[in-house]
């Protein structure tokens, strides 16, 4: 069973730039959720994708957007990067409408200079 994998592991960008983070879901899972974890805080829900469409969104501005592909992998795109976007970005996969827990990848550490 292949777990959730994320790339890259680390990334450094400057303010105003755009970034794309990638996630491969665990085999057998059909939803992907993205979370932002700022230093010293718990993960905050950004959005979830199911059937290649957004299936729920947290309190994040539109410059945070995503995609899901037919193989259930996903991308998180952030435009016009701000200093406060510096965080660990976590991807989690699960099976829709299941009580099985979400499985997380190891995250991408994004630093904005």
Exactly one of 13, 44, 75, 86 binds another protein (CB under 8 A); that residue is 44
- Using CB under 8 A as the binding rule, whether residue 83 contacts another protein is answered as no
Site string for another protein, 3-32 (x = CB under 8 A): -x--------------------------x-
Q: Where are the beta strands (DSSP E) in 1-113?
A: 5-7, 10-13, 19-24, 31-37, 44-50, 53-57, 64-68, 74-78, 87-94, 103-104, 108-112
Tokens found for residue 30:
């059909």
Which residues contact another protein by CB under 8 A? 4, 31, 33, 35, 40-45, 48, 50, 55-58, 90, 92, 94, 96-99, 101-107
């Amino acid at each position: 069973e292949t777990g959730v994998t994320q790339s890259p592991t680390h990334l450094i960008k400057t303010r105003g730039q755009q970034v794309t983070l990638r996630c491969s879901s665990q085999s057998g899972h059909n939803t992907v959720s993205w979370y932002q974890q700022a230093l010293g805080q718990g993960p905050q829900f950004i959005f979830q994708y199911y059937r290649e469409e957004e299936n729920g969104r947290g309190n994040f501005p539109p410059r945070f957007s995503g995609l899901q592909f037919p193989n259930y992998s996903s991308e998180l795109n952030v435009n016009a990067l701000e200093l406060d976007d510096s965080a660990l970005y976590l991807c989690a996969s699960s099976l829709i409408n299941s009580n099985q827990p979400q499985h997380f990848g190891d995250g991408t550490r994004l630093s904005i200079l």
